[in-house]
Structure 1
């Protein structure tokens, strides 16, 4: 059952100071004003190190109704990880470099509007969440090309210019060598040559209309595994073209599987990321969680 956030409520906002171009003071002031207008009791804390948002969210289980992630996709992932196993509803104020989760969920781009949705004007809506190793994610995990980009993208430039900070690493790794990947999906095994393997809950990149696979649904309880192996830059451009045309399955260099649990192994150390955060190297087990997470979204989108 969806949590009830229509009664007087207590919220805790977790601010990642390392994401976005908005100052912590501006975010603090905006959140406090919005909370006062909505009659919400609000406390705030700024994160001090990686995974701190998860620690803070776990401490909110018994005393708060809403926990708000103020940051990018990585911050949302950390807060959701900490909220699992509780009745907390998660709000999102997107101030990161890409904010794909917020875009997919229809969270407003304007700060004041996003804050209002996150602090109770939104509708609690259930979304799938998966676990990869010790962390959870709401959008996408990947091995290979995309993870190398995430490993190398400069935090300083992500804060200054947003998603263009990924362009140089993306160009640099276009000529990376393929690897042999072994996938075990719900007990069935197979192996492929790949340059990138994506495990998608939400499949969009850059814009919600551009998805990496066909039929990816945040509510179906399944992980879509997309294997890409374009042989060269022309092949990569062709695959990207099909994504832009909203027909990713037409690419001859893409193969798609679907399941609840996937074990990913490779023939050599391969980078791995979740929701834009570099996590380490393969192997990894990715599994859909049994219970969804409730996110405050406009109109229950």
Structure 2
């Protein structure tokens, strides 16, 4: 049985008609499914857990945040996941290879049922498929979520976030590293992209049993802005102040107190975090 979890406010509500169209395709083909919509933040966790009791295929329909909640609700039952890229970011769908496809193509892929393994990260007991991040990008996400910035342009919001950002001190531990440093940005990547297709490290693979740790050490204000330009060009991991390591686990300890961080677009706080690649991969339906 197929269980579909749709977030109707994803992509500012612009995907509601698309969801109706996709369900119409399934109806025309005589596909049996259970369909549920979320009503509030965190609702996909509860819905996915309920669907996973009777469904062996779970389909989150929305952006990366919807996928994050759905996976965390259902993964203990070990279902197969199919991503419907109906959000604005869609980095998981991009990595799987289903972003940018038509509804008919997505239905074909779902019904064909071809699967492949996919890694996922585990931090603080939660699964994530894209990233765990600290620093400037987290501040940008916080500002975009602030209703007071709703009428501001993308560029003005980003520039304001960057101006206010200050380097933070961390202790970073991996199997081959143990050091304290000052950083503008830290991201642990399961996929190559984040933030709606922005390349963080092109070498990242989502099925190699490793995660890619990218640290941008703080040097000076000029270099901070150069790093933002490089981030927009997909070259941040190639900067002279970048540290990149492929690893199976890491520990990130903020040394300046409790700090905000982001997991697949969700905002959380921590005074120390361990991130692992889960030893058991999930199954995703792919082209």
Quickly name the TM-score band, shorter chain normalised: 0.7 to 0.9
Counterpart CA distance in 1 for 2:14 and 2:215 is 39
Residues 222-231 or 270-279, more deviating: 222-231
Residue aligning to 1:174: 162
| Distance in 1, Cα, partners of 2:235 & 2:145 | 32
Match of 1:280 in 2: 269
Match of 2:56 in 1: 65
- Structure 1 residue 167, shift from structure 2 partner: 3.9
C-alpha distance in 2 between matches for 1:50 and 1:207: 20
1:132 counterpart residue number: 123
Taking a change above 3 Å as real, the CA distance of residues 122 and 109 of structure 1, as seen in their structure-2 partners, is: farther
Q: Aligned in 2, Cα 1:246/1:152: closer, same or farther, shift over 3 Å?
A: closer
> Are the equivalent residues in 1 in contact too, given 2:52–2:58 (CA < 8 A)?
no
**Number of corresponding residues:** 285
TM-score by length of 1: 0.82
Per-residue CA deviation, residues 261-283 of structure 1 (Å, 9 max, x unaligned), is: 21111122321001111122442
Q: 2:40 aligns with which of 49, 52, 63?
A: 49
Matched, 1:251 2:239: yes
Contact 1:92 1:118 survives alignment (8 Å): no
Q: Which runs of 5+ in 1 are unaligned?
A: 1-9
C-alpha distance in 1, partners of 2:84/2:46? 19
Match for residue 211 of structure 2 among 189, 200, 223? 223
Identify unmatched segments of 5+ residues in structure 2.
none
Per the alignment, residue 199 of structure 1 pairs with 188
Report how far residue 144 of structure 1 moved: 1.4
The Cα of 1:198 is off from its aligned counterpart by 0.3
Alignment of 1:33 onto 2:24: yes
Question: Counterparts of 1:156 and 1:121 in 2: how far apart (Å)?
Answer: 42
- The CA distance in 2 between the partners of 1:75 and 1:144, in whole Å, is 23
Cα distance in 2 for residues equivalent to 1:227 and 1:52: 33
Structure 2 CA distance, aligned partners of 1:157 and 1:25? Answer: 26
Preserved CA contact (<8 Å) 1:117 1:297: no
Structure 1 119/213 Cα, relative in aligned 2: closer, same or farther at 3 Å? Answer: closer
Separation (CA, whole Å) in 1 of partners of 2:231 and 2:168: 23
Contact 2:98 2:106 in 1 (8 A): no
State TM-score, norm by structure 2: 0.86
